[in-house]
Amino acid sequence: MDTARAVACLLVAVICLSCAAAASSRSPTVRMHRHLKRLNKPAVKSIESPDGDIIDCVHISRQPAFDHPFLKNHTIQMRPNYHPEGLYDESKSNVVSTSDAEKPMVQLWHQGGRCPKDTVPIRRTKKDDLLRASSMRRYGRKRHTTANPMSVSPTMLNEGGHQHAIAYVQGDKYYGAKATINVWAPKIEQPNEFSLSQLWILGGSFGEDLNSIEAGWQVSPDLYGDNSTRLFTYWTSDAYQATGCYNILCSGFVQINSEIAMGASIFPTSSYSGSQYDISILIWKDPKEGNWWMQFGKDYVLGYWPSFLFSYLADSASMIEWGGEVVNSQPDGVHTSTQMGSGHFPEEGFSKSSYFKNIQVVDSTNNLKAPKGVGTFTEQSNCYDVQNGNNAEWGTYFYYGGPGRSSSCP
């Protein structure tokens, strides 16, 4: 009897320990630690940025992309097979200044050092980053659909709290796009709002099957914990539902460049009636491998999105958009004062309003060409507006943006 009682007590103890271990593994603290471990790969070297970021130099073969089951045995494509031929001289690189002396565009973390060869720079995710997210599962993901210029019904205004001022083309097959984007540091009213300027490569409908590749600059206190202007990318193959993420916060984008970090601060930014700073972004589809490549400036080929990530974009894009987007959470029932672009309307012009210039598309022959039939779209032009034009120096361009809440945008 004593032996049986001892065995029973032992079984109960083992069960209790198992239950405690299971409960512990489900605790928020343990789950957060595991998620951070998945996101932050072992670093060869770490660099502290003046803005408080930590940039980890991770061996190229250990980056987050290779968590994807289809990439486990993937051979990294270290360079594109083809590069589009362009229309415009990029001798000025990433910067246009109102002074004669060219000022170099850098990422702020470069002040602390550079990553060695065969590594990629990855902005370290911190505990506070996860705590700001609505959930760990949703961290690094958008919650909205892309601007649909075909939907201008008043009932669609401010759908999901997102507003846009964009230029776009559609009606053909597109194999990439390019733009030079004026860089600013717009003011954000609420921590859960953002302001961005980007290009979209789109395929499919605006329903649940939308494919999108996006890149540009953004200010997002919720995602990054500050108001710095940062380089970013995004991708989705199902209209932002279950696939894709910002930067490299999930498996997907394969980075090959050791100089530029996704999600890191861009420095410096433009000032009103002062020096103007631009970045150049090119995204194109490699005709041989089918992967979608990204280039930053004239020197930095950053990496690629493998074609198998997408359905419609596995072939080509059906629409290209360029422009600005903000979140309007309507604090206290009124329009947000979160700025788009410079925070000033297009009619103010150069050095006051933000712009995209030399916008181009990649055609089926892998050549960059001026877009035809450019349209513009904004949900509420009294809050954020867009005006396009064309000249010899800037090619196809547009000014865009606005202050949000004002006397004309209550």
Residues taking part in catalysis: 214, 325
Strands (E), 111-182: 119-123, 162-174, 176-182
Dig out the tokens for 284 from the structure.
């194109």
Do residues 199 and 312 touch, judged by C-beta distance below 8 A? no
Phi-psi region of 216 (alpha: psi -120 to 50; beta: other; left: phi over 0): left
Smallest CA-to-CA distance from 84 within 321, 361, 348, 384 is with: 361
Dig out the tokens for 390 from the structure.
């064309």
Rounded Cα–Cα distance for residues 349 and 328 (Å): 25
Residue with tokens 């928020």: 28
Amino acid at 240: Y
In sequence order, what DSSP letters do the residues of 145-158 get, joined into one string?
A: PPP-TT---GGGTT
Dig out the tokens for 320 from the structure.
């290209």
Rounded Cα–Cα distance for residues 209 and 163 (Å): 21
Task: Calculate Rg over the CA atoms of the chain.
Answer: 23
Residues 227, 230, 235: CA angle, nearest 5 degrees: 120
Rounded Cα–Cα distance for residues 336 and 330 (Å): 5
Give per-residue burial for 208-225: e unless 16+ CB within 10 Å, then b. Answer: eebbbbbbbbbbbbbbbb
Do residues 306 and 210 touch, judged by C-beta distance below 8 A? no
Smallest CA-to-CA distance from 259 within 310, 209, 297, 314 is with: 297
Cα 127 off chain centre by: 21
**Torsion angle of the four alpha carbons 219, 221, 226, 230, in this order, in degrees rounded to the nearest 10:** -30
Rounded Cα–Cα distance for residues 410 and 408 (Å): 6
